[in-house]
Structure 1
Amino acid sequence: MLNGLRGVMAKIFTPIARFLLKLGITPDAVTVAGTLGVIAVALWLFPQGNLIAGSLLLGLLVFTDSLDGTMARLSGRSGPWGAFLDSTLDRLADGAIFVGLAMYFAWTSPSNNHLGMSAALASLVLGLCVSYARARAEGLGLDGNVGIAERPERLVVSLVAALIAGLTDQPAVLAWALVFLAAISAVTLVQRITHVRSQTLVAREEP
């Protein structure tokens, strides 16, 4: 759904990407730095209850996620290694965000502690399963890129909910948003499993 924004973001980041390349900064360095930034913000600000600052900073870092890809294309370094590194570190970044939210409910939130913490951890596990299902399908030569809640949608739901909860001082907003996120992640996982299953059945029936 939100993947269509990548082309727009690439155009916006092109001047920045050219500037960073002139400085001798590599796409891999940007990928690693962005991931470390997400991990630091998520595991430092969220557990302390700084939902507003945390969600805004993470939103900025997440929307610059295409910067390394733009740099790779401009420098002619696009390839399997960059895609592998980016996807792998994305899982670390996602994990940090949801662990940070779970820690917020465990340490700081005055209400909805158990619900929010459980939903955050469920969103983490199901999100990883959704990503793995696609990667495994593609590794087998199949298509697994379907579903209502891909990574961009999951991040938008979690960060917008965290921002609203921080602005309104209502942890319940975030807790129930994470419940919703876990539910749509589960639906997406089932959609991908079903989609891959249908492809294997068709391949089996072909002469």
Structure 2
Amino acid sequence: MPVWSMPGSELLRRALLRAGTADAAPWTGTAPQAPLLLLRADHVYDASLVAGLARRPGTLLCRPEDGLPVAAHLTDTALAASVAAALLAGRPAGDPAFAGLLPARPADLADLYNKALRKRANPYLLRLDAGTRRAVEWEMFGGSYKGVTDAITKHVWPRPAFQVVRGCAALGITPNQVTFASLLLVFVALWLFATGAWLPGLLAAWVMTFLDTVDGKLARVTLTSTPLGNVFDHAIDLIHPPFWWLAWIYGLSAVGMPLAHPAAVGAIVFGGYVLQRLQEGLFLALYKMEIHVWRRFDSFFRLWIARRNPNLLILSLFTLFGRPDWGMLAVAAWTVFGCLEQVVVTLQAGLARRRGPLRSWLEG
């Protein structure tokens, strides 16, 4: 059964290779050298779950909803044929073929807190058939989403991004190709902002932010992310926003709406952006966690902090009312507030650490 326009077995093969297995191939009835992982290919496994199973020899992975075994990690290949037959037949965990294997649920093999995606969620283990395919893809897509991010990415983009990710997978479009398209739009928006073409520029910018959501999700659900692709994507995300704001300020002068103190405003939005990033790096170095995952309020504030998407929202609203200049002043003010807020959080964390180690609220 295909998932994301590829056979479920291919997705499983990619997950196994990422988990560090030496080889991944369909079961032929002959066991290769131990240790051996056996997994039913009519299920979709969270990548962290496959990695967890690979680290736990002698484990029998069972579905959370009914306890039915679907995968096993064997250290004795003499048992492989009987275990494979029992898995395919859908026998219960108490079947003699599974003797000596320790039953485990998904939550036993993978942490509920995903540090990379900044969220707390159960690793998925999903049955894949014609009736569940769409639901499985949506569950996988949701699993690829960061838990702590801005409001637009979190609440506006998911549904349309899901459809575009499905389309990209069907057409064979790679995450890096999507990222390259978003890079082109970075320069298109920059030029349009600098010429005072606010609405076309905002359109290009919003499409770019949408593609920035699509590329990462496409890479995660199809297990095609690469170190080079990650660097490419994150470098674009990190570098371009303050240059958009400087282009906006330049564009205001180009259309006869100059700010009273453009250099000062430019210094605030550019320097404030750099300062916020440095503050986040300092917090991470001091407390070994990201600043926006410490407390629930910090995660809430991340929805609206003066990053690219919230700033674009501010500029869009003011532009629709005919005051792009006020929009930039609002962005500057919001940037200053964001910097001050992060100073306060960093100091509060220092005081809190005197009472004991800091712990993210997402860790439970």
| TM beyond 0.5 | yes
The CA deviation at 1:192 is: 1.2
Cα 1:102–1:199 change in 2 (3 A) is: same
Q: 2:211 pairs with 64, 68, 72, which one?
A: 64
What residue number does 1:37 align with? Answer: 185
The CA deviation at 1:136 is: 3.8
Q: What's the C-alpha RMSD, in Å, of the aligned pairs?
A: 2.9
Cα 1:139–1:196 change in 2 (3 A) is: same
What residue number does 1:187 align with? Answer: 337
Give the SS at the match of 2:257. coil
**Residue 149 (1) aligns with residue 295 (2):** no
**Residue 199 (1) aligns with residue 199 (2):** no
Q: Separation in 2 of the partners of 1:79 and 1:138?
A: 24
Written as runs of structure 1 = structure 2, the 5 A alignment for 1:70-149 is 70-77=217-224, 85-106=232-253, 108-116=254-262, 118-140=264-286, 141-145=288-292, 146=298, 147=301, 149=305
The CA deviation at 1:24 is: 3.2
Cα 1:70–1:137 change in 2 (3 A) is: same
Give the SS at the match of 1:46. helix
Cα 1:83–1:143 change in 2 (3 A) is: same
What residue number does 1:50 align with? Answer: 197
Give the structure with the higher percent strand: 2
Give the structure with the higher percent helix: 1
Query: How many residues are paired up?
Result: 198
Cα 1:95–1:115 change in 2 (3 A) is: same
- The more displaced of 179-188 and 15-24 is 15-24
The CA deviation at 1:95 is: 2.5
The CA deviation at 1:34 is: 0.4
In structure 2, runs of 5+ residues without a counterpart are 1-148, 293-297, 358-364
Contact in 1 for aligned 2:315/2:328 (Cα 8 Å): yes
Residues 73-125 of structure 1: CA distance to partner in whole angstroms, max 9, x if unpaired?
A: 2112458776654343113231231121122134x131334435542442232
Letter in 1 for 2:305: A
In structure 1, runs of 5+ residues without a counterpart are 166-172
Q: Separation in 2 of the partners of 1:105 and 1:160?
A: 16
Larger RCO: 1 or 2 (CA < 8 Å, sep 6+)? 1
Cα 1:142–1:66 change in 2 (3 A) is: same
What residue number does 2:171 align with? Answer: 23
Q: Separation in 2 of the partners of 1:39 and 1:129?
A: 24
Letter in 1 for 2:317: V
Contact in 2 for aligned 1:39/1:97 (Cα 8 Å): no
The CA deviation at 1:8 is: 5.0
Q: Separation in 1 of the partners of 2:324 and 2:262?
A: 7
Cα 1:5–1:89 change in 2 (3 A) is: closer
What residue number does 1:176 align with? Answer: 326
The CA deviation at 1:189 is: 1.1
Residues 30-86 of structure 1: CA distance to partner in whole angstroms, max 9, x if unpaired?
A: 2232033122322x2122221222122222322333111220221124587766543
Identity %: 20
TM-score, normalised relative to structure 2 = 0.47
Cα 1:160–1:73 change in 2 (3 A) is: same
- The more displaced of 48-57 and 186-195 is 48-57
Contact in 2 for aligned 1:161/1:177 (Cα 8 Å): yes
